[in-house]
Amino acid sequence: MYKKMLVLLDGSKLAEVVYSYARELSGRLNLAVDILHVCRPEEEDQLPMRQAYVNHMAEMFRAKTEGGSAQTLGQVVIGYPAEEILKYVGKNQIDIIMLATHGVSGIRRWGLGSVADKIIHETDVPIWLVPSFLHETILNDSSASRSILIPLDGSKLAESVISPVKELVKQRGVDMDLVLVNVINQPVVAYSYWGNSPPLVGENLTALRTESQVYLNNLVQTLKSEGFSARSEQLAGIPAEEIVRYASEYQPRLIAMTTHGRSGLNRFVFGSVAENVLRRLQKTPLFLVKPRD
């Protein structure tokens, strides 16, 4: 069960979209929330101003969160962002880390290649990444589409995102449609689902599509037997592009995936599919889970 969420703010307007979204989510999931800002050592003279900012944001959070959220704490620490965030997570029993995909550095993304990249690789805590241009319907929880998109590559590691998603759905208490997706990667040389085999063409590719559909159908049936609403989609193309295109067209509440998979049809490695999805996403939140080997 998710109990406490860490919301990261860097003082920028771009990052504050995560604040409004976190208010909605924490109310729905009944989460305690810590709001954290990291002040770099060279900016220590600004500490009183930064502390006042975070205290104000925490007070507003408590006042405006749906259902009330008395358990909201504002904290400012001095140090280097990635190190201080990881340290805070380790000491404070954090269950979810939430941050914006952009921040004070604008187009250089507050984390890709630095803060978020290090956090994603070094923590086992799920990370909820919020695009700065989040769909208003998602931000306000007014979308008729209540689906969660779950890209899979055929590996058990990639499937490990399903369990955290099921917990989110149960805790939210609202019916959500779990959409399991596999992308047949046609533009590049495809390899067998279950190992490295010769390039697939013609009948072999057809067989792979069938194998992929059987795999998805089995997972869907398991989820349905557990009381979840689930269905599958098989897409064709470049994985990251197809995942983002599907999300843009159907506007799921969330895309949930692991940071990496293992030697499936399309290997989900952060720095490959997962990273490309993150770079391309503009309006749909991304829930990243680091699988345990």
Per-residue pLDDT tens over the stretch 21-79: 888 888 888 899 999 999 989 989 999 999 999 999 999 888 877 654 557 899 999 99
Q: What is the pLDDT of residue 74?
A: 93
Among the residue ranges 67-76, 149-158, 232-241, the one predicted with the least confidence is: 67-76
The reported pTM is 0.85
DSSP for 239-277 reads: HHHHHHHHHHHH--SEEEEESB--SSSS--BTTSHHHHH
**Half-sphere CA count of 14, side-chain side, radius 13 A:** 16
Q: How far is 216 from 232, CA to CA, in rounded Å?
A: 6
Fold for 4-132, please state it. Rossmann fold (3.40.50)
Kindly state the tokens that stand for 52: 């006042």
CATH 3.40.50.620 positions along the chain are 4-132, 143-289
From 76, 66, 23, select the one nearest 46 (Cα to Cα).
76
Class of domain 143-289 (CATH, top level): alpha beta
Instruction: Please state, in angstroms and as integers, the Cα–Cα distance from residue 250 to each residue in 19, 38, 229, 254, following that order.
Output: 24, 36, 17, 11
Summarize pLDDT for 86-108 with one digit per residue, the tens.
999 999 999 999 988 765 544 33
> Does residue 144 carry a pLDDT above 90?
no
